[in-house]
Amino acid sequence: MIELQHIFKWYPAGGSRVYVLQDINLNIEAGAFVSIMGPSGSGKSTLLNIIGMLDLPSEGSYRFLEQSVYDMKEKHRVELYKKHIGFVFQSYHLIDELTVYENIETPLLYQNVKSAERKAMVSDMLDRFNIVGKKDLFPAQLSGGQQQLVGIIRALIARPKLILADEPTGNLNSAQGEEIMNLFQKLNEEDKVTIVQVTHSEKNAAYGSRIVNLLDGRIQHIPQTVHS
Amino acid sequence: MFRSYFIIAWRNLIKSKGYSLINIGGLAIGMAVAILIGLWIYDELSYNKYHKNYDSIAQVMQKQSFNGEQSTQISLPRPLEFELRNKYGNNFKHIVMSFWEGDHILSVGDIKISSTGRFMQAGAPEMLSLKMIKGTWAGLKDPSSIMLSASVAKALFGDKDPMDKMMRINNRMDVKVTGVYEDLPYNTEFKNVKFLSSWDLWMANNDWMKNARDKWGNNSFLIYVQIQPNTTFESVSEKIKMSKQQNVDAEDKKFNYEIFLNPMSRWHLYSEWKNGVNVGGRIQFVWMFGLIGLFVLLLACINFMNLSTARSEKRAREVGVRKAIGSMRYQLISQFLSESFLVVVLAFVLAVIIVATSLSWFNELSDKRITMPLANPYFWLISLVFIIITSLLSGSYPALYLSSFNPVKVLKGTFRVGRFASLPRQILVVLQFTVSIALICGTIIVYRQIQHAKNRPVGYDRNSLLMIQIKSPDLAVKSTIINSELKNSGVAVEVAKSGSPLTGVWSNNGGFDWPDKDPNKVGEFATIWITHDYGKTVGWQIKEGRDFSKEFATDSIGPEPDSTIAYSIILNETAIKYMGLKNPVNTIIDWDGYPLKIVGVVKDIVMESPFQPVRQTIYLVNYSAADSWINIKINPNLSAGQALAKIDAIFKKLVPAVPFDYKFADTEYGLKFAAEERIGKLASVFAVLAIFISCLGLFGLASFIAEKRTKEIGIRKVLGATVYNLWKMLSVDFVVLVIISCCIAVPVAYYFLHGWLQKYEYRIEISWWIFVLAILSALLITLLTVSYQAIKAALANPVQSLRTE
């Protein structure tokens, strides 16, 4: 599903370059649950943004679903990621002025889904995650865990093949964090959604099927499946 | 999709009410000004368009050269009519002679009213395309006929049918009503023509007009024409150019008379002539107001842009999220444009409400009768275009700017507004304050100029001075009895007649000669015909010599031909200066062979414009020439109401056929300031609006800067800065901007105001304190506006502002 080859990312600093990512080669199969780990500044988020096509590398090639991402026009790239990729953020990034229902609906608006269909899809999701009662509340009226749940539902609404999560439990307490991780695991196993998460926590990383360790912009080693 | 845009736009507006109020309110005021000015300009441009033949009507005018100067005038000699008809007739559809518009008495039985109208030739109703309610355009064919406007017909005949009824003009001309026409609207040249009667009738009653039949030197008449459709004003003007010059006496050829047509479309807006060339007129105000309107609207739009972008950091995260979940840039652009559209529509609704409620006030201010053209589809079409353009104008910058944010940076929180992001805002504030300061200076100077002229000594006593125009022969005949009756009853202290009102000069004459006359000077004077008591009535001040008195035989009769006696005259100071006389009293001067003796000199009396120098004037006693006005000095012990009632009773008793129609000298004099006061009021309104809009711009910039420097302010506070330190730090930048504005505004304002004042001979000097005052008030306004934001930012808890990083 994801094939990264020789990905470099650097910033010019004076005469030299500061490397954020160096020679990243990474293949992720459909259906995988990958955790990217590493200390602060190791390039985890940059890597995630490159996978999510929000950021471009300085060098390297990227194939997503057998298509070469950097050979296509920006318009197609946006089409590609808005159809197949959902984002979950550490600080949820819900739109404050929109209700839960409207927040979840927004990606569908950008994909030109018809009104009736949109309604059905959102209601479906609200049912499934059991938050029908909260659909008219605004983000500020929800707890952190609930906000992140809405964030995940928003990422899922367009039935993406890939979910990218940047420290999804970073702002949550442990109980809320556990619920979210269980949800990811369930989505991965039952819905066959590919998940790539960035995390600091060994415990959260253990939910995944594979761990990628980054240090100073390089992949350290790729251990085999942690648990079967 | 759009529904969702509008929802979020609406919730954003509701969430920050103060900001929305400023934004929508500011835009609405800008739009209201633009709409008002638009309506005003439309009204000015549609002047005279009531007449269907607007495009083919012209007034015949003439130019003449004198001492190298070319003068232009509308009054023409009578024989020109026959010349035009006989030699150039095929160019015209109508040639219509007209006498000057004037006040006349109309009476039916006991009902008498005073009304303005004209005596014109029979083609007038058709040429002017009067809308006939009764009768036809042929109504003036018979000389003894009159056509009435609907309002006059109603006043004279009530609900009865006026057609074919007999009535009288000025108590001496019997006429039959042959038509009733719709009153002409206020925005045409002929708006005051409340009745039309026959040129031939007027001539039959005025011998001097009959005598003018072949006098090329008597320029006392007006000629209007409608040209044939197959020709143009230019070509006809070219043809008739020499029609007067060819006919005048050989000695008058030096004046180089030129006859030409002045099209109706130019009468109102291009009425000023200088040295034979049209130099515009009201069109300059149309341009000036148009520019101001556009400018105010533009400032309001730019404010809207600035306030929106100043809040961009708040919206940045939303943009990042939207981009991350798949929004294309054009979708964000259309989102922000629909937001601005919503705001503009709300502002427009508010603007229409503002216009509707302020229209009557605006009409009073600008002397108009504009109505909201709500039923006019063009108004709505233009409004729609206006809304769309304004939304694009005001929404495009925020839309392009906000949608360009990089989602990764915004969401990571590393997004910073650039170092120069506030530069356009600073330029805008400078621009706005330049305009405000210039307008403050303008307002002060206009007011001071008006005040200056109002305080000018007028040379007579305006208080309790009543003027009554003599329009009917009854009044002229009985004026002596009226005079004594008024004095005997105790209502009047003095009564005198004159040939000109106190507020105008109706008679000028040339041909004066005096000892040691400079050959380059023209012997032309304003000649005011008066009766003996005139000086006492108006309270003039004798500077040298004596006033007129009945005791001197030489005071009693005006100049007569072949007389050997020098008759008495009184001159004003300007005349003495003009003539260069050292010892004016008892000097004998000559008027076309009649000797005149100067018996006194009076202080200048301001009869014409209070802004211009007084003309050299000669006062002469002549009871038959002083027949236009009765001047009454009311007994100061009576109130105006009591006095008027008594005078009215005396008039009713002695001259029942004449309506009691009076003017107070001080109100008439006050009217001379109307145009200047209108400019003054409009300038002050625009100054207030400009300041208000500038404050909005300043407020936007201040909130932007305060927000941008939140972290810096927090750190400074932690390091021990006081609120005063922070307030000073934040305010000083703005003071610098305002000082830059002053440096631009003061020379610009000085240049324009200096130019404006040149129009007036009697004017103030521009003193430096006016500019100091304007600058100080601008600084004060700035500090007040900025302090709100500065103190708010300075008082904020530093822990919170630092935690946001």
Asked if residue A68 belongs to a domain, the reply is: no
Beta carbons of B322 and A89 less than 8 Å apart: no
- B276 domain-assigned: no
Same domain for B213 and B306, yes or no, is no
* Tens of each residue's pLDDT in chain A, 228 residues: 899 999 999 988 878 888 899 999 999 999 999 999 988 888 888 899 899 888 889 999 999 998 898 888 878 887 888 889 888 888 888 887 788 998 898 888 878 889 899 999 999 999 988 899 999 999 889 998 899 899 999 988 888 999 999 888 888 888 888 888 998 999 999 889 999 999 888 888 989 889 999 988 898 865 555 454
Q: What residues of A are in contact with residue B318 (Cβ under 8 Å)?
A: 95-97
B614-668 residue pLDDT tens: 989 999 988 878 888 999 999 988 888 889 999 999 988 888 878 788 889 988 8
Residue A52 counted as domain residue: no
Can you give the residue range of the structural domain that contains B729?
Answer: 423-456+670-805
* Residue B325 touches chain A, beta carbons under 8 Å: yes
B319: chain A residues, CB-CB within 8 Å: none
B244 touches chain A (CB under 8 A): no
Contact B323 A93 (CB under 8 A): no
Phi-psi label, residue B379: left if phi above 0, alpha if psi -120 to 50, beta otherwise: alpha
Contacts of B331 in chain A (CB under 8 A): 110
| Host domain of residue A210 | 32-42+74-219
Let me know whether B86 and B191 are in one domain. yes
Residue where one domain finishes, among candidates B242, B267, B292: B267
- Taking CA–CA distances from A152, the nearest residue in chain B reads B325
Instruction: Determine, yes or no, domain membership for A24.
Output: no
- Read off the pLDDT of residues B720-771 as tens digits, 9 standing for 90 and up: 677 888 888 888 888 898 899 999 999 998 998 888 888 788 888 888 888 9
Which of B215, B237, B267 is the last residue before a domain boundary?
B267
Q: Please check whether residue B208 lies inside any domain of the structure.
A: yes
Sign of CA dihedral B433, B434, B439, B442: positive
What pLDDT does residue B137 have?
Answer: 94
Give the Cα separation of B224 and B197 in Å (integer).
16
Q: Is residue B531 part of a domain?
A: yes
B366 within a domain of the structure (yes/no): yes
In chain B, the number of structural domains is: 4
> Hunting for tokens 């008759």 — which residue is that?
B567
Residues B211 and B355 in one domain: no
ipTM exceeding cut-off 0.85 for this assembly = no
> What are the chain B neighbours of A86 within 8 Å (beta carbons)?
325
Q: Which of B267, B295, B319 is the last residue of a domain?
A: B267
**Interface contact A78-B326, CB threshold 8 A:** yes
Do residues B209 and B155 touch, judged by C-beta distance below 8 A?
A: no
B407 touches chain A (CB under 8 A): yes
Look at residue B51 and tell me whether its pLDDT is greater than 80.
yes
Nearest CA in chain A to B315: A95
Secondary structure of B141-207 in the HEC alphabet? Answer: CCCCEEEEEHHHHHHHHCCCCCCCCEEEECCCEEEEEEEEECCCCCCCCCCCCCEEEEHHHHHHCCH
Q: How many of the other CB atoms lie within 10 Å of CB of A180? A: 21
Collect all residues of chain B within an 8 Å Cβ-Cβ radius of residue A45.
412
- Flag whether A22 is in a domain: no
Copy the structure tokens of residue B780: 């004060």
CATH number at residue A120: 3.40.50.300
Q: What is each CA distance from B435 to B428, B448, B687, B750, in whole angstroms?
A: 11, 20, 8, 13
CA dihedral B664, B665, B667, B672 (to 10 degrees): 150
Contact B326 A97 (CB under 8 A): no
The answer to the question of residue A204 being in a domain is: yes
Residue B374 near chain A (CB below 8 Å)? no
Domain count, chain A: 1
A97, A166 in Cβ contact below 8 A? no
Torsion sign (Cα): B1, B3, B6, B12:
negative
DSSP-derived pairing of the beta strands A162-166 and A85-88: parallel
The pLDDT of residue A133 is 92
A81 found inside a domain: yes
Would you say residue B210 lies in a domain?
Answer: yes
Residues B241 and B224 in one domain: yes
- Asked whether residue A148 is assigned to any structural domain, the reply reads yes
pLDDT digits over B446-474, tens only? 888 888 888 888 899 988 899 998 887 77
Q: Based on the fold, state whether residues B114 and B191 are members of the same structural domain.
A: yes
- What pLDDT was estimated at residue B805? 37
Residue among B11, B320, B326 minimizing CB distance to A110: B326
- Inside any domain, residue B722: yes
User: By the CB < 8 Å criterion, does B409 face chain A?
Assistant: no
Is residue B275 in some structural domain?
Answer: no
Pair B753, B624 in one domain:
no
Q: Would you say residue B577 has pLDDT above 80?
A: yes
Q: Chain B contact for A115, CB < 8 A?
A: no
Residue A228 pLDDT = 42
Partner-chain contact A54 B12, CB within 8 Å: no
Mark whether B520 and B380 lie in a shared domain: no
Whether chain B has a CB inside 8 Å of the CB on A201: the answer is no
**Residues whose CB falls within 8 Å of the CB of residue A220, separated by 6 or more in sequence, listed in order:** A213, A214
Domain assignment present for B396: yes
- For residue B352, what pLDDT is reported? 93
* B687 and B633 share one domain: no
Q: Does A106 touch chain B (CB under 8 A)?
A: yes
End-to-end CA distance of chain A: 21
DSSP character for B249?
-
Taking CA atoms, B552 is separated from B498, B557, B567, B620, in Å, by 20, 10, 10, 14
Of B494, B493, B492, residue with least CA distance to B650: B492
Residue A69 lies in a domain: no
pLDDT in tens, B360-391: 998 988 888 888 888 888 888 988 998 898 88
Instruction: Tell me the two tokens of residue B364.
Output: 């009073």
Nearest-by-Cβ selection for A107 from B318, B325, B407: B325
pLDDT at B499 exceeding the cut of 80: yes
B4·A105 Cβ contact <8 A: yes
For B419, the enclosing helix (H) or strand (E) is none
